[in-house]
Amino acid sequence: MQKHPLILRHITRLAAAAAFSLAACTAIAADTVKIGVLAPLTGPSASDGQEFVNGVTWAVEEANKNGGVAGHTFEVVTADVKDGSAANVTSAVERLAGTDGVEAVLTGYANLSMFEIDLFKEYGIPYLSAGPSPSVAAIVSKAPDDYWCCWSYTADFSGYVTDLLPVVKEFAAQGKANIADKTVAIISSDNPYSKGISEGMKKVFAADGWKLTVDEIVPFGEVSDWRSILTKVRETKPNLVINTDYLPGNSALFLKQFLEDPTNSLVFLQYAPSVPEFVKLTGEKSTGVLYDMIGAALDTPKWPRGPKLLAEYKSKFGIESGAYGVGLYEMTNMYFDALKQVGDPKKHEEIGKAIGAMTKETVAGTIKFDPKTHVALTGNDYVPTSFWQIVDGKRVLVGPAKYANGAFVAPPWVKK
């Protein structure tokens, strides 16, 4: 049956409207940029992994609420690296690289050797990490121009090796520590991060005339009992006890078992006390512990961005941020800044180079990258080695003086 001309015109208009609507929907879908997050969502580092996701999600929601960046809105896609093994990290990277619309990937850390940088180089995807910077430098420095993809928000780790000794000497000069014997016990975990720091510290302390009374390394992973090592500590009674195992559960257990019969020693624990989980596990026993951070949020009025973002994170998620919640928020915004310059999220190389060329004030200090290593610069004018002490469940920034918001106090177990 022949249709009336008015009906035909109406059908034509409906078809045109439908086609326009479909095109509009397609444009919107194509306009959504996916940001990949590599994170340990299960396993012993899951608390860190959740911070990674929280930080990126926070920045993405904020950007989308403000209308997007350079005409683009964003979606977060996660991939679980689990225990951080090479197999699990490779699988996670392949999943993100194979997901349509993923134009950049961020992480706090995935594998501590950072081998995945070579995968992102091959895939040609911008990758911003906050993992062990020495591993990044070792890979990138061989051919920096080939690694336009990859940049380390974490600054040079040299301060982790060199900066503890002068700080301990300063505390001793203030009468807050006894280092008359110049003895140190160093315990580590068998992974590139922990072992790299502990091996470097041994050389620094030895060069200053210190005696290494305990030198122990445990297999990487969960430690169920530290007492056999602590027996050696109690036999030698060192002035300083160092444990560079970064897993919060392991570090908390070490402190608890140390305090069963403490020696008259300062206790320095690498990284783990910065994680909120550590204080939950140790409670009031955490008071007196010293740790340092390169890339921590500078929670001090002397660097207002630090306390501002830490307060916003806690308000949004109901928990305190360690290094990574606010850190991944900053890293996401660094990607957004690069996208503003470039405009097209698919121009991966231009975006990677824009990230590498920027100078940006963040919660950790001023980020500027070394073009030879693609690692953020360290130092008081860039990203400092910050020293912290836990007192009554709160983290007090005790050095360097440029940023300190409190003074170091002698630990309660140390006899005067």
> Which residue did the predictor score with more confidence, 50 or 14?
50
- Distance between CA atoms of 59 and 330, rounded to whole angstroms? 8
Task: Please give, one letter per residue, the 3-state secondary structure of 248-288.
Answer: HHHHHHHHHHHCCCCCCCEEEECCHHHCHHHHHHHHHHHCC
Predicted pLDDT of residue 223 = 97
pLDDT mean over 17-43: 67
pLDDT mean over 352-376: 98
> Which residue did the predictor score with more confidence, 22 or 314?
314
> Which residue did the predictor score with more confidence, 274 or 372?
372
Predicted pLDDT of residue 31 = 83
Residues 6+ apart with CB under 8 A from 165: 201, 204, 205, 208
Residue position matching structure tokens 């062990």: 132
Residues 6+ apart with CB under 8 A from 415: 264
Least confident range from 13-22, 284-293, 333-342: namely 13-22
pLDDT mean over 391-397: 94
- Distance between CA atoms of 168 and 156, rounded to whole angstroms? 21
Predicted pLDDT of residue 276 = 85
pLDDT digits 0-9 by tens, 179-207: 999 999 999 999 989 999 999 999 999 99
pLDDT digits 0-9 by tens, 233-262: 999 999 999 999 999 999 999 999 999 999
- Distance between CA atoms of 329 and 320, rounded to whole angstroms? 14
Predicted pLDDT of residue 26 = 38
Nearest Cα residue to 330 out of 349, 348, 303, 350: 303
Mean pLDDT of the chain: 92
Query: Does 20 have pLDDT greater than 50?
Result: no
Give percent of the chain above pLDDT 90: 88
Query: Does 2 have pLDDT greater than 90?
Result: no
Query: Does 30 have pLDDT greater than 90?
Result: no
Reported in sequence order, the residue ranges of 19-72 that DSSP labels E, i.e. its strands, are 32-39
Predicted pLDDT of residue 362 = 98
Query: Does 27 have pLDDT greater than 80?
Result: no
Residue position matching structure tokens 């550590």: 278
**Percentage helix, strand, coil, to 5, in the chain?**
45, 20, 35
Considering the chain, tell me which residue range(s) the CATH 3.40.50.2300 domain(s) occupy.
29-157+302-376, 159-293+385-399
252 within 8 A of 276, measured Cβ to Cβ:
no
pLDDT digits 0-9 by tens, 91-110: 999 999 999 999 999 999 99
Predicted pLDDT of residue 9 = 41
Q: Does domain 159-293+385-399 have CATH number 3.40.50.2300?
A: yes
Q: Which fold has domain 29-157+302-376?
A: Rossmann fold (3.40.50)
